[in-house]
Structure 1
Amino acid sequence: MPVLPSWLTEPLWDQFWALLPQRPLYHLDHPLRCRRPRISDRIVFDKLLQVLRFGCPYEAIADTTCSASTIRSRRDEWIRLGIFSQLKRIALDSYDRIVGLMLDQIAIDSSLTKAPGGGEVAGRSPVDRGTQGLKRSGMTDGYGIPLGRVLDGANCHDSPLLAPTLDRLAELGPLPDDITVHLDAGYDSNKTRALLDERGLHGRIAHKGEKAPIQASRRWHVERTHAWQNAFHRLSRCYERRAVVIDAFFDLADTIITVRSLIRRSWTTHRWDNRPRRRP
């Protein structure tokens, strides 16, 4: 069974392949002077999708076509080239051009996940018997398209992560003049309101001690996006120790979410050659 349907995997690979540098089939400067052909980038890309989706170790994904060390080395090479961040940027630009990002409504919230192996951005979780955990402060548009995130330890409060999360708006280009930021009661403080006022943003913040359904505002979009991201088991239980690798997997997951939403929302308004027969 494929890790992702072909109508989603193929456009992802086509754009990913276009970003890769041209490499010879054989390693001309191999220290052992061997002539073994280089492992295909498509094979490694499919392996990384399996690692992201199933969350299993690299050794469990490796087989006769590709070893675990090759997956790791090619992953690190693509991270150095910035391929994953470029892919996410292209997906967001395509979504904005075809459907349109709802940047006048922004939702921000944090989510805790397990990090059994610790790492650079892991910390003692206050809600999981003190085990190692990872917190991500995610930002979405009014529909739930992931715009950016900030990673920190599970013992970090949500409020200090608000400012660096809002800084990710600068990467999106021109913004609407009137932006409303939807936050939960964890951000209900004068410091948060002052921060939003300094940036010219309007805040819609839930009040502490007052029960309100999540559907009362647009906060539920970011909660749904957290659920979409946690469906990738490499993110819901993170064994990676380096922050750049975690960010790369998040960028790949956000790209998948964005392209999937793009295909779903444009299915009734656009036609293309490999369009799914049914609305995904």
Structure 2
Amino acid sequence: MPALPSWLTEPLWGQFAALLPERPEYHPGHPLGCHRRRISDRVIFDKLLQLLRFGCSYEAIADTTCSATTIRSRRDEWIRLGVFARLKQIALDSYDRIIGLVLDQIAVDGSITKAPGGGEAAGRSPVDRGKQGLKRSGMTDGYGIPLGRVLAGANRHDSPLLAPTLDRLDDLGPLPDDITVHLDAGYDSDKTRALLNERGLHGRIAHKGEKAPSQASQRWHVERTHAWQNAFCRLARCYERRTTVIDAFFDLADTIITVRSRIRQAWTTHRWDERPDRRP
């Protein structure tokens, strides 16, 4: 069962492969030149997509094509090279050129998920009887395209994570002069308003004690993006212990979300040879 449809995996792999360094099929340092061939990068890439989508263990996804150790070692190699972060940035840049990021409307919110294995970014979850959990403070544009995140323990409050989350805007290049940040009642404090004023940002913050549905503002975009991310079982129930690995899987998921949204919006305005028969 494929983790993703071919109209999505093929463009992802094409760009991913362009970021990988060239490697010989056999290791040139072997004295006899007759050891096993290097496992294809495409095989490892497909395995990582399955891990991200289905949330299974490395041992469960390993088969005769490659072992769990090979998947982990190649994953760590690509993390050291920064391939996942570069892939996400390329997806954002292409989306901005073709569709356009809505950067004058920003939404930030936190989401708590399970982290049964603990790890560097895990903490006691206040919504899961003190079990280990992971919080991500996510930021999206006005449509819901993920722009960045900050990982922390589930026991961290959303408000202190706002500043490092907004720092991710620095990676986006030129920004509009007038930016509105949409926040829920958890950020309703003078400290948050002072932080936004220092950065020249306008805040639209829900007030504590007043019922206000997320549809009343632009906050629902970030809520939808959290739901998109939680559809990847590896993120909804995270067994990874290292923050760098978790960030790599989030970068891969954000790339998939961005490319899928770009194809979905361009389906009605553009034509290309591999265009899906119906709107994805």
TM range (shorter): over 0.9
Q: CA deviation at 1:29?
A: 2.8
Q: CA deviation at 1:271?
A: 1.4
TM-score (norm 1): 0.98
CA distance in 1, matches of 2:168, 2:198: 16
Which consecutive unaligned segments of at least 5 residues does structure 2 have? Answer: none
Whether 1:163 aligns to 2:186 is no
Whether 1:107 aligns to 2:107 is yes
Whether 1:272 aligns to 2:253 is no
What percent identity do the matched residue pairs reach? 85
Query: What is the correspondence of 1:176-187 to structure 2 with a 5 Å cutoff?
Result: 176-187=176-187
SS of residue matched to 1:12:
helix
CA distance in 2, matches of 1:50, 1:102: 31
Q: Which residue of 2 aligns with 1:50?
A: 50
Q: Which residue of 2 aligns with 1:74?
A: 74
Q: Which residue of 2 aligns with 1:220?
A: 220
Whether 1:235 aligns to 2:235 is yes
User: Quick one: structure 1 residues 205 and 31, their matched pair in 2 at CA, closer, same or farther if it must change by over 3 Å?
Assistant: farther
SS of residue matched to 2:261:
helix
Q: CA deviation at 1:213?
A: 1.2
CA distance in 2, matches of 1:268, 1:55: 33
User: Quick one: structure 1 residues 67 and 207, their matched pair in 2 at CA, closer, same or farther if it must change by over 3 Å?
Assistant: same
Query: What is the correspondence of 1:87-102 to structure 2 with a 5 Å cutoff?
Result: 87-102=87-102
Q: Deviations over 1:102-122 (max 9, x none)?
A: 000000000000000000000
Which consecutive unaligned segments of at least 5 residues does structure 1 have? Answer: none
Q: Which amino acid aligns with 1:114?
A: K
Q: Which residue of 2 aligns with 1:199?
A: 199
Kindly tell me the number of residue pairs found equivalent between the two proteins.
280
Q: Which amino acid aligns with 2:116?
A: P
Whether 1:146 aligns to 2:170 is no
Q: CA deviation at 1:27?
A: 1.7
Q: Deviations over 1:60-116 (max 9, x none)?
A: 000000100000000000000000000000000000000000000000000000000
User: Quick one: structure 1 residues 65 and 200, their matched pair in 2 at CA, closer, same or farther if it must change by over 3 Å?
Assistant: same
TM-score (norm 2): 0.98
Q: Which residue of 1 aligns with 2:133?
A: 133
Q: CA deviation at 1:28?
A: 2.2
SS of residue matched to 2:113:
strand
CA RMSD in angstroms, aligned pairs only: 1.0
Q: Which residue of 2 aligns with 1:259?
A: 259
CA distance in 1, matches of 2:128, 2:3: 30
Q: Deviations over 1:200-223 (max 9, x none)?
A: 000000000000111000000000
CA distance in 1, matches of 2:43, 2:30: 21
Stretches of 4+ aligned residues off by more than 6 angstroms: none
